[in-house]
Each structure stands twice: as structure tokens, then as C-alpha cells.
């Protein structure tokens, strides 16, 4: 599946099935890419403050 993360003043798009990740700048240009990655499983947390 595809996942996106906003981090380090860019957007990271991860395709876990293909084992690839790309980083996009604010103009949607690819500024970094990687492949053949062993990607970690990320745990999502949600916190509500009253």
C-alpha cells in the first residue's frame, strides 16, 4: 500500500509493496528516492486534548 508522510520540509511517499520511497518538494518534484528498502512498520497514534 501507499503511505505519505510530511517530514523534513517535504513529503515522503512510501510504496511498501514495491519497497520504494520518494521525497517530493513543495513543487511536487522528486528530490530523493530509494528502492530495495526494508521498510519498518509504523504505529499511528492519535491524542485528543480536551
pLDDT by residue (tens digit) across 9-50?
778 888 877 778 888 888 888 888 887 655 455 555 555 666
pLDDT at position 34: 81
Distances from the Cα of 8 to the Cαs of 1, 5, 11, 32, in angstroms?
22, 10, 8, 12
Q: First CA to last CA across the chain, in angstroms?
A: 33
Average pLDDT value for residue range 4-11: 76
Residue 36 confidence (pLDDT): 64
Given this model, what pLDDT does residue 41 score? Answer: 52
Amino acid at each position: 500500500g501507499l503511505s505519505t508522510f510530511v517530514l523534513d520540509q517535504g513529503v515522503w511517499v512510501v510504496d511498501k509493496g514495491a519497497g520504494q520511497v520518494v521525497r517530493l518538494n513543495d513543487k511536487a518534484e522528486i528530490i530523493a528516492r530509494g528502492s530495495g528498502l526494508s521498510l519498518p512498520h509504523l504505529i499511528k497514534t492519535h491524542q485528543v486534548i480536551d
